[in-house]
Amino acid sequence: MNRRTCLLATVLCLLCAAGAPGQDGVPQFGTRSIAACDGPTQACGVAVVSFPTGVPAVVPVGKPRIVVANQASPLIDNAERIVALIEGGAAPEDALAEVLAGDAQREVRQIGVAAIGSDDVIRVANFTGSFTTPQTCAVAGADFTVQANLQRTSLICQTMADAFQKESAGFPNRLLAAMRAGAEAGGDSRGEFSAALVVFGQLPVAVRGFTRLSAFSAVNRSREWLPELEYNLKAYLAFWTLTDAADLILLNPELILQIQQALINLGFLSGAPNGVWTDATELAWRAFQGRNLAFTQGTIVQGEDRLIDQNRAFYLIEGERRGVLRGPA
């Protein structure tokens, strides 16, 4: 790299870190994200967080079986063309290469792509331009790609990848685990305030005509973006979807006490919480769902254990605390 190029790169990094325009006046925004697909559910999704407001409207682009994380200096035309090419039969790496070949400002782009082909095989691709801001990284696996720039550490991509792979819960919660791990690793060097988690997939038949999103959560400006992202995700999953077996958790006495107290506070259960799942508790649990969710599902008994949907339990406990749930008619 010659002296002029080194100087240009340094200036660009300083401008981008300050939120000013990057190469040729194109704004750059440091961002970290994961784009991934899930074989069992045939869903694809993007989870992302950054400093600028409006990330939910900008970075996640896609449709069922195809997603693009459109970041650094995002260009919606690029993202939509990648989706169209893949939908037409191109592999993610070929679609990405074709679009970037015609983009004179590609060196300020960072893009992650994940898609499920007509053969049901998941393929991913990513690109990081040479003028994206440090710390910059990208890591890809069989069913995911993580990309980031303007972070506190370049190790953040691997940290997010590891968390996504280790998490055993359902696909949306695996994406959430990646975001949480990135925050714990340091996150965006300017702070993180705007986030989204979007999964394109099929909802249950009864509501399938409503939307193509099987999971959705968005935060536009909050210091507490991670708790907000988690709550809004759990609320969406609880309301719109049926239980994913991977999201079942053990009903232990401590969790039962929390659920019972929330049901009592809402008026679905009488008496005092005792940490024992009784028939009355089960009826109250179902009654709560009937008033607050699209689908009612009971707990599941497996041997000596009783399991519950973690998303629904979280939504009840936190939703009651926030005062956003309905009591009995």
Query: Concatenated DSSP letters for 113-180?
Result: EEEE-TTS-EEEEEEE-TTSPSS-EEEE-SSEEEEE-SBS-TTHHHHHHHHHHH--S-HHHHHHHHHH
Same domain, residue pair 120 and 199: yes
Is 4 a member of any domain? no
Same domain, residue pair 100 and 231: yes
Q: Of 185, 220, 240, which residue is a domain's last?
A: 240
Q: Which domain holds residue 156?
A: 29-240
Total of domains in the chain: 2
**Three-class SS state of 12:** helix
Q: Of 222, 240, 258, which residue is a domain's last?
A: 240
- pTM strictly above 0.85: yes
Same domain, residue pair 263 and 279: yes
Non-local CB neighbours of 251 within 8 Å, separated by 6+ positions: 259, 277, 299, 305, 306, 307, 308
199 phi and psi, to 5 degrees? -120, 125
Same domain, residue pair 137 and 257: no
Same domain, residue pair 220 and 253: no
* Domain CATH number, residue 109: 3.60.20.10
Measured in Å, how far apart are the chain's first and last C-alpha atoms? 71
Say what the alpha-carbon torsion angle 299, 205, 120, 197 is, to the nearest 10 degrees.
-70
Is 17 a member of any domain? no
pLDDT tens, per residue, the chain with 329 residues: 444 444 334 333 433 443 434 455 556 677 999 999 999 999 999 999 999 999 999 999 999 999 999 999 999 999 999 999 999 999 999 999 999 999 999 999 999 999 999 999 999 999 999 988 889 999 999 999 999 999 999 999 999 999 999 999 999 999 999 999 999 999 999 999 999 999 999 999 999 999 999 999 999 999 999 999 999 999 999 999 999 999 999 999 999 999 999 999 999 999 999 999 999 999 999 999 999 999 999 999 999 999 999 999 999 999 999 999 999 98
Same domain, residue pair 205 and 163: yes
